[in-house]
Structure 1
Amino acid sequence: MSKVSGESLNQPLKRFKKVPVYVVEEHNEALQFIYSAIGGKKLPLEGTTMLHFDAHPDMLIDRKMKGAEARAGKNLLPLLQIENWIVPAAAAGHLRRVVWMRPPWATQFSDGTRDIRVGDHPHTGQLRVDSKEPYYMSDALYSTHLLNERTFTFTVAEIAEPTRKKSDDELQKLVDTISISKPYVLDIDLDFFSTGNPFLNLYDKISLYDLLEPIFNFNLPENDDVETVEKVVKQREEQLNELENIFEHLEENGNLQAYEGEKTDLLTKVSVVVDAVTKEAERLGDSPDWFAIFAGGCTRDQGGLPFHISTEQEVEDMVNQSLLPLLRRLPAPVLITVARSTDDGYCPKHQVDFIQSLVLKTLQEVFDTGEPALHYLTVNSNRVI
């Protein structure tokens, strides 16, 4: 998808006969169908809105990703992971607006609307944003200086508590707040309805998830002036880089005996955890996955990931009292993507098929959809088309 003239951007879009529904396992796999719709002129090259139901924003950026990689069309797809697939599409201009509908237990962003600039860091070429939200600062993704920048609008809104149905006035207020218009993509992660945290199970007998918090902890700057924020973000980047080097060494060697990096307080803290994990792994006859432990630590910066295992009744209430009434007040999307997110532990395995059947039934009831394409059954989950 290369740059095209303004005239071609204004060409009328083609239409699907029925709204296609694509069901994937890992959430980033949804983007391939959005890009295919752009290539098939079912979606515009620029300016699409995404309505994103999820327990997680998925709005991070791989800290090492270059802006040029984000603008490389389908070549971008193999570089993405479940937490960082949306903003690169915004950096390429394909998404102009993202609306994150969150369940009550997901609080990574405050409700409201903000414009976010995304572009290339002038010195590294890496993709960065100008947002001072803790979500971005804690991953060292903030920069006020950007090249090849785009601006996208990000709206966050909460669906009602599972046990409480919105009144007509409340529902209309929500519809007005999110202000969805065509063309848009409807995107639903099934963990929106019941949310696990796979990192809680990592050596839970020694409470590893809690042991990681002081190591990966991030303190927000005392004020939000640019100079202070940039200084704090630079320190955070150094912290994350050091931790990444330590855990890469652990993955390769299984211990820190030959580690040649600087002997810092951070290394001392990690060493204490390594001793505890090693002893517990020996007791279990296990071999630690240090990359998984590092990934778990990276979620501890602002208190940890959301966790709420819903009852079946709560799931049914969320579908019937929140999702269904809202969708009935919206125009039909161009396409629908659904992510199961169960192999990685975010949607509970014992509930995923139940939730999926309810959601697909609801989509068929509200929109003129085609037969769902169960992509997760036909391809290896690591393969990207």
Structure 2
Amino acid sequence: MPKSSGESSLQPLKRFKKIPVYVVEEHNEALQFIYSAIGGKKLPCEGTTLLHFDSHPDMLIDRKLKGEDARAGRNLLPLLQIENWIVPAAAAGYLGRVVWLRPPWATQLADGTRAVRVGDHPRTGLLRVDCKEPYYMSDALYSNELINERKFTLTVAEVPNPTQQKSDDELQKLVDTIDLSQPYVLDIDLDFFSTANPFLSLYDSIKLYDLLEPIFNFELPENDDVFTVEKVVESRERQLAELEHIFEHLDEHGNLLTYGGGKTELYTKVSALVDAVTKEAEKLGDAPDWFAVFAGGCTRDQGGLPHHISTEQEMRDMIKESLLPLLLRLPAPVLVTVARSSDDGYCPKHQVDLIQSLVLQILKEVYDIDDPALHYLTVNTN
């Protein structure tokens, strides 16, 4: 567990002989190496900065995650998924600052710097944040009431596309915004350079992703006063809970014939969707993957996930002309984590190996790194 800020700030840190690089498949698997570095006194016990290159913030919270579980050290790791691994580490105090560097096509969070409170909802014990941005409200993760709280600083900034011909002054402005002056972790998701929305291809002949939008739709509150926001979030929580219940029934039974919940407006909308999906699945000689349908629906709020398949030249330019000059202006990290994100379709499979080789080559040019530990080759091999 993190120590007090006074104790952790005085504790001398050990150094790696060379900067380790860990390559994982699913992005949440990177956190184990950060925790190991903290345990090995290579990173401070609290307040580490995460410099996060990604087409996705990965800063949601599992709506059912308890705050006490977030503070349970490595016992937290099996509870995490790719979209929700960062904030729980901040809730435990291990991360004190997160810098999300986004490509131009990723706009899930507004640019700028803000302080975010994260802690336990006093009545449920569930982990929540006090951030009113749509990214959090649409997942019913906002609460103004928090106990066992921590604060972390969130900075969001765009890494310009090389074709925008940014000047050295503008690059320096980005460096100043990042403002790294303490031990930090460099974290790169390869889908930063080319990203797909895998749900677009799910029963695409019936345009399922579009059909999910009116079912999972979320309306932002008219104003951002605490009372209004909390009422909207409570309503959203009920909506998501009902949809989860419906789709759990579908996943178990394949239909809604024995569904015991209320025949609400949401139920009616999903029933119509069930008919369309079932017919399409039968054409494909398959059974519907209702869990995937629900997961896709949960991404339909606020315009859906980013989708930008880069050309090979675009990828090379981004790595050589955006990533490289930026890293050259920043201090060296304590360690580097790299996520492939290809098995789940976010980084296109036909591009991921090339992107990985180019990124690792740049890391070797900039830093004195150890041979990359290809963690993804030792797990998920079945």
Same fold (TM over 0.5): yes
2:220 matches 1:224: no
**Residues 263-342 of structure 1 correspond to what in structure 2 (within 5 A)?**
263-342=263-342
- Aligned-partner Cα distance in 1 for 2:7–2:250: 54
- Aligned-partner Cα distance in 2 for 1:46–1:275: 51
Identity of paired residues, percent? 80
Q: Contact 2:3 / 2:46 at 8 angstroms: preserved in 1?
A: no
Q: Which amino acid aligns with 1:114?
A: R
Q: Which amino acid aligns with 2:83?
A: E
Q: Contact 2:116 / 2:153 at 8 angstroms: preserved in 1?
A: yes
Q: Contact 1:249 / 1:256 at 8 angstroms: preserved in 2?
A: yes
- Aligned-partner Cα distance in 2 for 1:247–1:29: 27
Q: Contact 1:162 / 1:317 at 8 angstroms: preserved in 2?
A: yes
Task: Please state how far the C-alpha of 1:182 moved relative to its aligned partner.
Answer: 2.2
Structure 1 residues 220 and 145, CA, compared in 2 at 3 Å: closer, same or farther? same
Per the alignment, residue 169 of structure 1 pairs with 169
2:24 matches 1:24: yes
- Aligned-partner Cα distance in 2 for 1:139–1:240: 8
- Aligned-partner Cα distance in 1 for 2:101–2:2: 31
Instruction: Provide the secondary structure at the position in 2 that maps to 1:233.
Output: helix
Task: Please state how far the C-alpha of 1:110 moved relative to its aligned partner.
Answer: 1.1
Instruction: Provide the secondary structure at the position in 2 that maps to 1:188.
Output: strand
- Aligned-partner Cα distance in 1 for 2:68–2:181: 30
**Residues 65-84 of structure 1 correspond to what in structure 2 (within 5 A)?**
65-84=65-84
Per the alignment, residue 139 of structure 1 pairs with 139
Per the alignment, residue 157 of structure 2 pairs with 157
Q: Contact 2:38 / 2:45 at 8 angstroms: preserved in 1?
A: yes
Q: Which amino acid aligns with 1:322?
A: S
Q: Which amino acid aligns with 2:95?
A: L
**Residues 1-385 of structure 1 correspond to what in structure 2 (within 5 A)?**
1=1, 3=3, 6-7=6-7, 9-380=9-380
- Aligned-partner Cα distance in 2 for 1:381–1:368: 30
Instruction: Provide the secondary structure at the position in 2 that maps to 1:319.
Output: helix
Task: Please state how far the C-alpha of 1:2 moved relative to its aligned partner.
Answer: 5.9
- Aligned-partner Cα distance in 2 for 1:117–1:95: 13
Q: RMSD between aligned alpha carbons? A: 1.2
Q: Which amino acid aligns with 2:36?
A: S
Q: Structure 1: where are the runs of 5+ without partners?
A: none
Q: Which amino acid aligns with 1:156?
A: V
Task: Please state how far the C-alpha of 1:8 moved relative to its aligned partner.
Answer: 5.2
Task: Please state how far the C-alpha of 1:11 moved relative to its aligned partner.
Answer: 1.1
Q: Contact 2:2 / 2:46 at 8 angstroms: preserved in 1?
A: no
Task: Please state how far the C-alpha of 1:161 moved relative to its aligned partner.
Answer: 1.8
Instruction: Provide the secondary structure at the position in 1 that maps to 2:213.
Output: helix
Q: Structure 2: where are the runs of 5+ without partners?
A: none
Q: Contact 1:27 / 1:339 at 8 angstroms: preserved in 2?
A: yes
Instruction: Provide the secondary structure at the position in 2 that maps to 1:151.
Output: strand
Instruction: Provide the secondary structure at the position in 1 that maps to 2:174.
Output: helix
Q: Which amino acid aligns with 2:45?
A: L
Post-superposition Cα deviations, 1:287-312, rounded to whole Å, max 9, x if no partner, equal: 11101100000000111000000000
Q: Which amino acid aligns with 1:41?
A: K
Instruction: Provide the secondary structure at the position in 2 that maps to 1:241.
Output: helix
Post-superposition Cα deviations, 1:39-74, rounded to whole Å, max 9, x if no partner, equal: 000001101000000000000000000000000000
- Aligned-partner Cα distance in 2 for 1:13–1:234: 44
Q: Give TM-score, length-normalised by structure 1.
A: 0.98
